[in-house]
Structure 1
Amino acid sequence: MGRGWMIGNALWLQVGWWACVLGAHVQWLLLIVPIGLALHLRLCQERSAEVRALLRVALAGCLLDTLLGSVGVFSFDQRPLPVWLALLWLVLASGLRHSLAWTGRPYWRAALVGMFSGPLAYLAGARLTGVDLPMGHVGTGLLLAPIWALVLPLAVRVASWR
């Protein structure tokens, strides 16, 4: 894919993140996500591989967040997960084979990016959505850092499977 595709995909990740997070309170914004994902899939050359990657990563991510919620890292209003958070995993997954693929090689790069960006995204999202963090911001961030140092490299790898 060309440079324009990568830039468009990176912009989509930003728009999608904001749509999901703000959609926690302004629910019509969540409609942006299926529209954006449909456009994303329409533009993908390997559509069936992309759909499989989206489903694998989103399912694994939802299971992870459900587990973290069940052990008290997060406190959600909805069980097992809010819709906006499940959609957020699809948005993230839509970048793993494209604008985020660079993080996967070498492995340590994805671990480093995940260690910092994962907790920051969660902490910012929690503040904007009203998700309670029983361990506090610092405790939650410190717990999420090593988790995301593993999650992002694994997610990039899983997304690349055919």
Structure 2
Amino acid sequence: MATRRWQSLLLNALRFEAGWLLCVFGGSWVAAFAGGGLLAWHLWRCGLPGEWRFIAGFALLGLVVDGGLHLLGGFDFNDQTLVLGLLPLWLWMLWPLFATLVFHSLAWLWRYPLLAALCGAVSGPLSYYGGALLAGVSIAPWLLPVQALIWAALCVGISRYSARSSNRLASQPTQ
């Protein structure tokens, strides 16, 4: 029983990593199909009742956060097609893909808000830096320190949200 749970958590993390690589290397068309497929698979096979609401909200948050950073000059996407003039689809798709980890592979982390903040402050900017290098995106010198602050705050927010809503999320009917 415990082995199956660990396998499920590992597969959840591996699906995210595969999605990240497909989005960054494949661009927006691949992100639309592969990312959309991974999200559908997650919600169909692994999703908790009502989890889709969290994933959708997190996707909208990503559009606001990264779109705002783009408008402030943090990203230069060169000639890539942008969703609503803000972000390439491949970058936006990373937000709902990350959200699939919150109640699964990363659920243990939210019990430790300071550790979550530290992990967010380190891994968030590293992900953006690696993605920018691999996808040919130019980033402003100030972007990575700002991303560290944003992701630290986001992870503390997720910790608080998780503490309040994990029982409520599991008790919601699927719609």
What TM-score comes out, normalization by structure 2 length?
Answer: 0.81
Aligned to 2:149: 146
Q: Is the 8 A contact 1:16 1:33 kept in 2?
A: yes
Asked if 1:15 corresponds to 2:30, the answer is no
Q: 2:125 aligns with which of 113, 119, 124?
A: 119
Letter in 2 for 1:31: F
> 1: distance between equivalents of 2:47 and 2:95?
21
> 2: distance between equivalents of 1:158 and 1:68?
24
Q: Is the 8 A contact 2:113 2:159 kept in 1?
A: no
Asked if 1:100 corresponds to 2:100, the answer is no
Cα distance change on mapping 1:84 and 1:61 into 2, 3 Å? same
* Structure with greater Cα Rg: 2
Cα distance change on mapping 1:22 and 1:156 into 2, 3 Å? farther
Structure 2: which 5+ runs fail to align? Answer: 170-175
Q: Is the 8 A contact 2:111 2:159 kept in 1?
A: no
**Percent of pairs identical after alignment?**
35
Deviation at 1:158, TM superposition (A): 4.2
> Which residues of 2 match residues 27-66 of structure 1 at below 5 A?
27-28=29-30, 30-44=32-46, 46-47=48-49, 49-66=50-67
> 2: distance between equivalents of 1:33 and 1:45?
15
Q: Is the 8 A contact 1:20 1:85 kept in 2?
A: yes
Deviation at 1:159, TM superposition (A): 6.2
Once superposed, what is the RMSD of the aligned Cα atoms? 2.0
Deviation at 1:38, TM superposition (A): 1.4
Aligned to 2:75: 74
Structure 1: which 5+ runs fail to align? Answer: none
Cα distance change on mapping 1:30 and 1:128 into 2, 3 Å? farther
Letter in 1 for 2:40: A
SS at match of 1:2: helix
**What is the aligned residue count?**
157
> 1: distance between equivalents of 2:10 and 2:51?
18
Aligned to 1:110: 116
